[in-house]
Structure 1
Amino acid sequence: MAQQQTDFTSEGAPPPIPSLSLNMKAIEAATRDLEQGSITPHYGSCRQDVIKLLNDALATELVCVLRYKRHHFTADGLASAKIAQEFLVHANEEAVHADRLARRIVQLNGAPDFSPESLTQRSHAPYDASLDLREMIRVNLMAERVAIEAYSQMIDLIGNTDATTRRLLEDILREEQAHAEELKDWLVG
């Protein structure tokens, strides 16, 4: 078997890493427009697109809060008390997600959109008024899967453009995945 040759200099040291340097013009620009707060030239033109993505995610979380609350108060059946309590836990966690998204939108100098008129149109997941406990679980699992897909795509779209927003979305994604696993266990259990 042929041995792979390593590309070293004649002294046996690895080749030098190309020099890295910061964009000094952008750093200088960061000393101006102080009313922009943490928004520096690094955000470029994508900031408004990120705000739109976050507002749609905010709408999704708010619709999820409403759906889980509805299911919490209307769940009926053999295991309904325990599951209804978990629906309330999920509703509260979705509300925290909504608050975190709204806070990030404001940090990006945007306006969080809580408008009830457009909430369901902007939401990735539907509202549901089912009264059957099994159907409630199924609909909530479907909504969690939709949220998982949407957050995964948002994370890919944002990439390294906005590390703070990406980390926020990754945190929320982890919690949505945990919700989906719990709902799946109830559905098949």
Structure 2
Amino acid sequence: MNSKRIVVAITGASGAILGIRLLEELSCREIETHLVLSKWAEHTIELETDYTIEQVKALADVYHPSDDLAASISSGSFHTDGMVIIPCSMKTLSAIACGFSYNLITRAADVMLKEHRRLIIVPRETPLSVIHLQNMYSLSKMGVVILPPCIGFYTKPKTLSDVINHLVGKILDTLEIEHNLFTRWNGTH
């Protein structure tokens, strides 16, 4: 395999535009993307964005229904370079922390864990309960990157797009994919 292969999952948590923007950036590069949308992600996309479900699916190279546990990405023998769950609901985060692979998103995440591959979770909830924090801590101890959608004020964002691009850039950094979505901090001088 010459290019990277990344799994992108979008759950029903608020912030579907984050996953869509990541897909847009990955589609501009020679990166094979595999997309999974939860049932509630489809509703959230319709409620929060101007995108149709078909437009979002078209951003990926391969789309897998969330109930297809026989999909390629449900097996460790299918090589991938990582997975991003963006946004990640607390239901999905909890299931992954407990090893409860009830759909393709949680099964693919379980594969990332067992194969020691990069798994990035963008949790979208506030405020956080002790249960949420414990689940994130548990996953972090397993090597999962917990990347909350926090604003980088040093970039002096002027629009919501600036904030989204900063977050997507941080994810691309974690996946070791070059980008120029934000100006990097170079110190105070």
Q: Same fold (TM over 0.5)?
A: no
Name the TM-score, length of structure 2 as normaliser.
0.28
Q: Per residue, is there more strand in 1 or in 2? A: 2
Name the TM-score, length of structure 1 as normaliser.
0.28
**Structure of larger gyration radius:** 1
Q: Per residue, is there more helix in 1 or in 2? A: 1
